[in-house]
Amino acid sequence: MACRNIVSIEEKYKVKAEKLKEEVCCTFSDTHASPVAQLELIDTIDKLGLTSYFEVEIQKALENTIIYSMKSSSNHYATTALCFRQLLTEHGYNSSQDMLEDLFHGKGKLPSDIKTLLELFEGSHLSMDGEKLLNNDIRLLSDIVDRLTSNPLAWRVRWYDVRTHIINTAQNSNNTNIPMLLKLAKLNFNIIQATHQNDLKDVIRWWRNLCIVEDLEFTRDRIVESFFYAVGIASEAQHGSIRKWITKVIQLVLIIDDVYDIYASFADVQQFTRAIEKWDPNEVEQLPECMQICFRALHATMEEICVEIQEQKGGPSTLPYLKQGWVNFCKALLVEATWHYEGHIPTLEDYLDNGWISSSGSLFSFHVIYCMTNKITNENLDLCKNCQEIIYHVSIIIRLCNDQGTSTAELERGDVASSIICYMQQENVSEDVAREYIESIILDSWKKINYHFNKLSTSHRKIVNHVINGARMAHLMYHSGDGFGVQDGETRHQILLNLVQPIT
């Protein structure tokens, strides 16, 4: 009976959401609505997390009304910047920075009004190599708006901003369409949050049934934080299986990272790496019991995930491809363990050549691609190859954000040198100078991600955007310190807001 009640409530919510959607759709067909009004409506819909409800209507509005009308709206500077920043670029249209030249009054000067500056700031973080108009002004824009915003939208996980946008929109908007949108946004948020909560219960049950926490006292028990990261990668309601698979991968990454960093001797991690390469439980029989437990947990979980993927997607097993990701990850950890054992601080170049793999970014990325595609095909294998540059730069961002958030604590513990320490020693500079240089690498990696992302087909963009969410989550997790290491900080606050507390 309880199960039937839950189903009926969910169906009731869905029917209510469809009715609200129909009411909002009427706004798109309003022939009297100006291009500016429709642009701002689409922007609001995006920020409230409702894009999936209105994909067809948004595309028609952009194609039939806005794109061809922007020339007559050139005096709306903030709208022109908005059109470039979010709508054309983020909805799959190729837009040149040339359309922004009027905003600089032909003299390379920045506009003076705050709304336009904010949109230019957001647009500057969608720039690519070779686009000089915004690249030249990105630091100045950042300095101007630094007090008004944190990371740019392009670097943020949209779903984790939805709640804030709902609250702000309710307080600050006089648009007549907003009440309907807010009702739908609140309903949609609570429906998806309830789905996430059910998924979280499943992964917590898996974690408890694994029964390894008591045997691995040295490692981090971060199953909720791992799930929070996974939701950031794939928040959509239909991706429940992917969230659960990625959560398990993240928690196992944390455990293995702690084995290499904290617990095991150098000889032990060498043997553990050989066991991963051979994917053979017999290879760990001479290792300490807790390392055997760790290997068996990884081995069993990955075998189980690959069976589930095959059952849901069809095609051949993903195990050979995903297993290779774990081999590469553990080999990279072994390189870092070797540096630590020898007391060696590498150059920044050598550190990053290894660090993009030890960040686990490529490991996550391959799991996301193989989990999101229908089955293993030559096309999907080609997608992994075509996305290699994006995967590399996503992994670099994860590595460097991690270093920025954890470097001080790791230095105090005597862990392997981070990118910051490597650059400080290499160039004989202060920590502040090193951090500034690391930030410039992150910015450059985002430009390269933007460039390669814009070359992808529309269907591939939908998949790869979830890969890029891995970099966005790194910004969120390490923005205020170590989001995995400190459980009572900003991450806990975000978990409560997004996974626990509904909007009333």
Same domain (yes/no): 95, 244:
no
Please count the other Cβ atoms lying within 10 Å of the Cβ belonging to residue 257.
19
- Predicted confidence (pLDDT) at residue 37 exceeds the cutoff of 60: yes
Same domain (yes/no): 113, 247:
no
| CATH number of the domain within which 54 lies | 1.50.10.130
At 317-362, the pLDDT tens digits run: 889 989 999 999 999 999 999 999 999 999 999 999 999 999 999 9
Same domain (yes/no): 128, 251:
no
- Classify residue 142: in a domain, yes or no: yes
At 239-264, the pLDDT tens digits run: 999 999 999 999 999 999 999 988 88
The answer to whether 103 touches 70, Cβ cutoff 8 Å, is no
The answer to whether 83 touches 66, Cβ cutoff 8 Å, is yes
Angle, CA 120 vertex, CA 169 and CA 229 arms, to 5°: 60
| 204 band by pLDDT with thresholds 50, 70 and 90 | very high
- Predicted confidence (pLDDT) at residue 48 exceeds the cutoff of 80: yes
CA-wise closest residue to 275 among 255, 254, 298: 298
CA-wise closest residue to 361 among 475, 222, 212: 475
Percent of the chain scoring above 70 in pLDDT? 77
> How is residue 483 written in tokens?
């989001």
Distance CA 448, CA 431 (A): 26
In this prediction, residues 280-285 reach a mean pLDDT of 92
Same domain (yes/no): 144, 225:
no
Find the domain containing 479 and state its range: 211-500
- Classify residue 323: in a domain, yes or no: yes
At 230-239, the pLDDT tens digits run: 999 999 999 9
- Classify residue 197: in a domain, yes or no: no
| 67 band by pLDDT with thresholds 50, 70 and 90 | low
- Classify residue 368: in a domain, yes or no: yes
Same domain (yes/no): 135, 267:
no
In this prediction, residues 406-421 reach a mean pLDDT of 71
| 2 band by pLDDT with thresholds 50, 70 and 90 | very low
- Classify residue 71: in a domain, yes or no: yes
C-alpha torsion sign, points 333, 318, 159, 187: negative
| 15 band by pLDDT with thresholds 50, 70 and 90 | confident
Among 361-365, 383-387, 408-412, whose mean pLDDT is lowest?
A: 408-412
- Predicted confidence (pLDDT) at residue 224 exceeds the cutoff of 90: yes
Same domain (yes/no): 296, 236:
yes
**Which of helix, strand or coil describes residue 236?**
coil
Helix axis angle, 319-342 to 240-258, nearest 10°? 30
Residue 465: what pLDDT? 94
Residue 455: what pLDDT? 87
Same domain (yes/no): 355, 395:
yes
Residue 81: what pLDDT? 67
- Classify residue 466: in a domain, yes or no: yes
Residue 151: what pLDDT? 81
Distance CA 250, CA 299 (A): 14
Same domain (yes/no): 86, 224:
no
Residue 425: what pLDDT? 93
The answer to whether 65 touches 29, Cβ cutoff 8 Å, is no
Percent of the chain scoring above 90 in pLDDT? 49
- Classify residue 87: in a domain, yes or no: yes
- Classify residue 80: in a domain, yes or no: yes
Same domain (yes/no): 320, 467:
yes
Residue that finishes a domain, picked among 180, 201, 236: 180
Residue 6: what pLDDT? 47
Number of domains in the chain: 2
| CATH number of the domain within which 224 lies | 1.10.600.10
Same domain (yes/no): 309, 445:
yes
CA-wise closest residue to 168 among 194, 149, 152: 149
Distance CA 238, CA 389 (A): 28
Residue 59: what pLDDT? 82
Same domain (yes/no): 163, 216:
no
Same domain (yes/no): 275, 359:
yes
Residue 159: what pLDDT? 96
The answer to whether 180 touches 20, Cβ cutoff 8 Å, is yes
